[in-house]
A and B are shown apart, each in its own frame.
Chain A
Amino acid sequence: QSVLTQPPAVSGAPGRRVTISCTGSSSNIGSGYDVHWYKQLPGAAPKLLISGDSSRPSGVPGRFSASKSGTSVSLVITGLRPEDEADYYCHSYDIGLSGWVFGGGTKLTVL
């Protein structure tokens, strides 16, 4: 069981908005540690999608954003496109474990 909890799967139609949640605890997200998001296509390495709570690396479209509330962070994808279909992972630091932790991953299906 992952320290950060994500829904196993979400789906949405092209053009719609989807949200992927990442729920932690007081020893990670709740302690103010930044949450990062990665996108992983089948057979490929993860790729940084959002760093910090809402910063996008060069090349990542503005359709991707993140928001934080308490011990949870959400990845928001608007204007869903077929190429968004992938696995998404959240990532943060846990002071109790003295190390980095990942969410279990969420498979996004574009209907």
Chain B
Amino acid sequence: EVQLVQSGAEVKKAGESLRISCRLSEYTFPNYWIGWVRQVSGKGLEWIGIIYPDDSQTRYSPSFQGQVTMSADKSISVVYLQWSSLKASDSGMYYCARLSVASHIVVVTAPFQDWGQGTVVTVSS
């Protein structure tokens, strides 16, 4: 089973920057699209974006475009989600998740097969 290990909980103030990470324990890491999903306490799941680590192609949800940046370092099998200026509304649990299909072309019908354990981000105003 592929494991996605995320960085630890973060407590920040509004206006600060932040980068959280997701490390994949799988040698085929660069060839799977990795998505990010947010869950605000007690609420549902929201798709943030998705990245192909091999060439850093990205797709963003319109709701998050310009608010966050995804990146990848395939040499260490890690993808990142970062904010340049946090807002209180960015507080929540953030999950990384791997699409089930290895393909340079994003297979939009594929599910998120494996998930990280989540990173809690708390932003105070």
Please list the residues of chain A having a beta carbon within 8 angstroms of any beta carbon in chain B.
2, 33-34, 36, 38, 45-48, 51-52, 57, 89, 91, 93, 97-105
Secondary structure dominating the interface of B: strand
Closest to B64 in A: A99
Known A45-B95, A45-B118: A105·B45 in contact at CB below 8 Å: yes
Q: Which of B78-115 contact A (CB under 8 A)?
A: 95, 97, 100, 108-115
CB <8 Å contact, A93 and B112:
no
CB <8 Å contact, A51 and B100:
yes
Which residues does chain A contribute within 8 Å of B117, judged by CB atoms?
45
Cα of A88 to Cα of B115 in the assembled complex, Å: 15
Closest to A101 in B: B47
CB <8 Å contact, A45 and B115:
yes
How near does chain A come to B57, taking the closest CB pair, in angstroms?
14
| 15 chain-A/chain-B pairs, Cβ below 8 angstroms | A45-B115, A45-B116, A46-B45, A47-B115, A57-B113, A89-B45, A91-B112, A93-B109, A99-B62, A100-B50, A100-B108, A102-B37, A102-B45, A102-B46, A105-B45
Q: Which 5 A-B pairs have the closest CB atoms?
A: A36-B111, A51-B111, A93-B108, A102-B45, A100-B47
Known A45-B115, A51-B100: A99·B109 in contact at CB below 8 Å: no
Q: Given A33-B108, A48-B114, 10 other A-B contacts at CB below 8 A?
A: A34-B109, A45-B95, A46-B95, A52-B111, A57-B113, A93-B109, A99-B47, A100-B108, A102-B37, A102-B45
